Amino acid sequence: MSQSRIFLIVLFVYFISCGVSCKYNFTGASAAPDIKTISIQQFDNTANVVVASLSQSFSEKLRDKFLTQSNLSLSKNNGDLQLSGSITNYAVTPITIQGNTSAAQNRLSITVLAKFVNVKHPDQNWEQSFTNFADYSSSISYEQAESALIEEINDKISQDIFNRALADW
């Protein structure tokens, strides 16, 4: 057996074993070695338009983001990292007009105010608003599009918050 073939077999076995025992993170996210936990409080909905499930669905999306894209453990309270905040804006606006009076496309925009506290490294604390949106055709009703739009926006905003908290941008 040639040396190159042996090398490939060893390399293959290494990657297989690493897939089982190693955790690689390709998100660019990093926390200091002494940071082990994060607590994420429920984000209250203080927007003028209150969608009953938005607070819960956003908070869960944010928790899932940190659990799946980092090596942090979720702590109910007093994590090494702490996230809290509120949903401050929820608005549907027309973005493309057809004819003279009706919208051809609409946009749902959501704004979240997030407060990040790093207990062990307070110089990394911040408070910031994050806004994102999703567009939908007026050929479907808002009620038909709402849950998918919220899901898409929640994912975008939670990724933005995650990147701000852990990625070195």
121-166 pLDDT, tens per residue? 999 999 999 999 999 988 888 899 999 999 999 999 999 999 999 9
Give per-residue pLDDT as tens, 15-34. 444 443 333 344 446 678 88
pTM: 0.79
Domain extents in the chain: 29-166
Residue 26: phi, psi to the nearest 5? Answer: -100, 15
Rg, C-alpha atoms of the chain: 21
Which residues, in sequence order, are CB contacts of 148 under 8 Å at separation 6+? 134
- Cα(156)–Cα(107) distance, integer angstroms: 15
Confidence of residue 6 (pLDDT cuts 50, 70, 90): low
Which is it for the CA torsion 72, 76, 82, 85, positive or negative?
positive
From the options 3.30.160.150, 3.40.190.10, 3.30.1330.60, 3.40.30.10, give the CATH code of 29-166: 3.30.160.150
CA-to-CA dists, residue 24 to 5, 19, 63, 105, 116, angstroms: 26, 9, 19, 41, 24
Give per-residue pLDDT as tens, 77-125. 999 999 999 999 999 998 876 666 666 889 999 999 999 999 999 999 9
- Cα(141)–Cα(135) distance, integer angstroms: 12
